[in-house]
Amino acid sequence: MSTDAPKLSPVETIKEGSDYLKGTIGQEIADSVDHFDKSNIQLLKFHGSYQQDDRDSRLTAKKTGAGKAYSMMVRLRIPGGRIQSDQMLSMLDLCERLGNSTMKITTRQTLQLHGILKDDLRETICYINKIALSTLAACGDVNRNVMCCPAKRIGSIHADMEKLTDELTEALAPQTPAYHELWLTDPESGEKTLEGGGPIEPLYGPTYLPRKFKIGIALPEDNCIDIYTQDLGYLAVVRDGAIIGYNVLVGGGMGTTPSAKKTFPALAKRMAFVTPNQAVGIAQAILKVQRDNGNRGDRKTARMKYLINDWGIEKFRAEVEKCFGEPLVDCTEDEVHGFDDHMGWQEQGDGKWSYGLNIENGRLYDNEDQQLKATLRAICREFETEIRMTGHQSVIFTDIDGADKDKLISLITQHQVPTTEQTSTVRRWSMSCVALPTCGLAITESERRLPSIIDGLEAPLSKLGLDKERFTIRMTGCPNGCARPYNADLALVGKAKGKYTLYAGGGWLGNRLAYVYKDLVPDDVVVDEIIAIFAAYKANREEGESLGSFCTRVGKDDLAVLATAAPRP
């Protein structure tokens, strides 16, 4: 029998020799070269940054002999998407001063900056920490930003969920001193601007997790954070107006590689019920089981969903119980049955209101047509309140007095920004990843393409009488699944240059996977293909049936037949 240790993937070797994520990043920051080497690119992810280049300029650069136009994407860790007005104002300043003047609200309730030059990376991350935010563990093979229902509600239910969000963030954060040494220490004086970190990683160990890890907290009546797509989900169990515990779901994950049949998207499975006092300990136990048993030889199958698929949920639960130190009880009957995007006016329960403003694909920018950044600036300065970012890339302004409702709406409309009430339902429920030109994985367009696709759908939906129906339409530039496409009613996933895989049959509840309806759909017929599905749905749906449920009921082949036969608007 061979006693050789299993072969590690190249990234595992990089982590192993990195001295707890330090690598040679410090030396490279001081170097005049405009980009980092391959090893440090991997380590920088743990610090909250990806190296990218402007792919639009590659052809010109090749013709002229110039190099790639490198820059850094910097992502923040903002638990539950909660941020104060002064912090948002500071981030808007930062994106203009050191970034490409835009900012992106992500599908995980946080912010990311684009276009940061390598020479400005230390200043950027240091500044973010000075305003009491962080980039540590926003990316990388660790627990990332913890998602939580962003609705502001007075009472113990939402307060307990937010408390658990903060506790998980702290308990599962990396402890490496490298972050503070690299970004929060003056390189000349050695003086630290903030203290933190420790000499070892008691939870993660020197090689951290085999792959990224995501957590979300939801309510049965409000799955606004897509709990089934998380590696670890906490579904609150409420009795008599109080949370008595959580149903723990494990093994969700969207990423897949079409060329590797061993990969697949997966929805989380119900594992056990835990009390509030057990919630953090269970998360640590689950992380340890994944840490010690996840696939470190092949990053394509390193997510926890593959471990659970190989073992089965019963064995996985048994290992978690062993690590946790006590047996667990089965989940309660509580299950997801609703989804609120929290857009528009909603009462908080304390006499005040919140207002959810739809931000198309999460991109904050100003131009001649609309000024989203200026809108946020005006509202932050006027109301000085907390802002909450949603899992659908939008924002919620909290603590608005009833007498100030018109003032807030005026601040939106005077900057030519559509209110939520002026936004079509199909646009409101759509979302996309960044894709081209900055994402290195992107095969096709996504964020820059989806708005025009929605433009092409609005009039036909109105003619069909479906303009008030709620459909989730999601788009990604590659199969990595950053906009959670595989559980949407309809989704477009980049497959080849200018071509998409069209998925159908998921749903706005997020608890069902879509199937491949058509592959390699050319960009110029995407809108027609989707309109045909809507027409088939209009002509053949059962009473009260959602689009995703209809597509699932009729199946791929019959849907194609019905879509061909249905009269177009």
What are the two backbone dihedrals, phi and then psi, of residue 303, each rounded to the nearest 5 degrees?
Answer: -65, 160
CA distance 550 to 95: 43
3 state SS for 10-62: HHHHHHHCCCCCCCCHHHHHHCCCCCCCHHHHHHHHHCCEEEEECHHHHHHHH
Encoded amino acid at 2, one letter: S
How do strand 215-218 and strand 232-239 relate by DSSP bridges?
Answer: parallel
At residue 194, the pLDDT reads 43
Q: Which of 139, 224, 478, 551 is catalytic?
A: 478
At residue 258, the pLDDT reads 84
With vertex at residue 364, the alpha carbon angle to CA 361 and CA 366, rounded to the nearest 5 degrees, is: 125
478 counts as catalytic: yes
224 counts as catalytic: no
Q: Which of 45, 482, 484, 541 is catalytic?
A: 482
CA distance 487 to 141: 24
Task: Name the CATH topology of 7-143+176-195.
Answer: Alpha-Beta Plaits (3.30.70)
- Contacts of residue 554, Cβ cutoff 8 Å, sequence gap at least 6: 536, 540, 562
449 counts as catalytic: no
Sign of CA dihedral 115, 142, 277, 275: positive
Cα–Cα distances in angstroms (integers) from residue 382 to residues 169, 404, 411, in the given order? 31, 10, 9
CA distance 442 to 434: 9
Say if residue 406 is exposed, middle or buried (CB neighbours under 10 Å; 0-12, 13-18, 19+): exposed
Domain with CATH 3.30.413.10 in the chain: 145-174+209-340, 427-565
Q: Which of 148, 224, 439, 551 is catalytic?
A: 439
Q: Which of 214, 317, 373, 518 is catalytic?
A: 214
CA distance 18 to 400: 48
Question: Do 213 and 299 contact (CB within 8 A), yes or no?
Answer: no
Q: Which of 15, 45, 75, 288 is catalytic?
A: 75
Q: Which of 45, 77, 144, 518 is catalytic?
A: 144
Domain spanning 145-174+209-340, CATH class = alpha beta
Determine if the peptide bond prior to 522 is cis (ω within 30°). no
Cα–Cα distances in angstroms (integers) from residue 324 to residues 125, 310, 331, 391, 499, in the given order? 36, 21, 17, 30, 47
Q: Which of 108, 212, 363, 518 is catalytic?
A: 212
482 counts as catalytic: yes
What is the full DSSP assignment across 384-437?
--EEEE-TTS-EEEEEE-GGGHHHHHHHHHTTTPPPGGGS-HHHHTEEE---TT
- Contacts of residue 64, Cβ cutoff 8 Å, sequence gap at least 6: none
Question: Do 80 and 150 contact (CB within 8 A), yes or no?
Answer: yes
CA distance 186 to 568: 64
Q: Which of 139, 331, 433, 551 is catalytic?
A: 433
Domain with CATH 3.30.70.2500 in the chain: 7-143+176-195
**Length of the chain as a residue count:** 569
What are the two backbone dihedrals, phi and then psi, of residue 177, each rounded to the nearest 5 degrees?
Answer: -75, -10
CA distance 507 to 443: 25
Comparing C-alpha atoms, which of 239, 240, 236, 245 is closest to residue 218? 236
439 counts as catalytic: yes
Provide the β-strand partners of residue 74: 49, 113
If you ran DSSP here, which 8-state letter would residue 198 be given? -
- Contacts of residue 464, Cβ cutoff 8 Å, sequence gap at least 6: 534, 535, 538, 569
Encoded tokens for 502: 């069209």
Question: Do 388 and 343 contact (CB within 8 A), yes or no?
Answer: no
Domain spanning 427-565, CATH class = alpha beta
Question: Do 154 and 350 contact (CB within 8 A), yes or no?
Answer: yes
323 counts as catalytic: no
- Please state, as a whole number, how many other Cβ atoms lie within 10 Å of the Cβ of residue 44: 24
Encoded tokens for 404: 């100030």
pTM of the full structure? 0.96
Say if residue 62 is exposed, middle or buried (CB neighbours under 10 Å; 0-12, 13-18, 19+): exposed
Provide the β-strand partners of residue 213: 143
Mean pLDDT in each 10-residue stretch from start to end of the chain (569 residues)? 71 97 96 96 98 89 82 98 98 98 98 98 98 98 98 97 98 96 77 51 96 98 98 98 98 92 97 98 98 98 98 98 98 98 98 98 97 98 98 98 98 98 98 96 97 98 97 97 97 97 97 98 98 98 97 98 95
How do strand 242-250 and strand 232-239 relate by DSSP bridges?
Answer: antiparallel
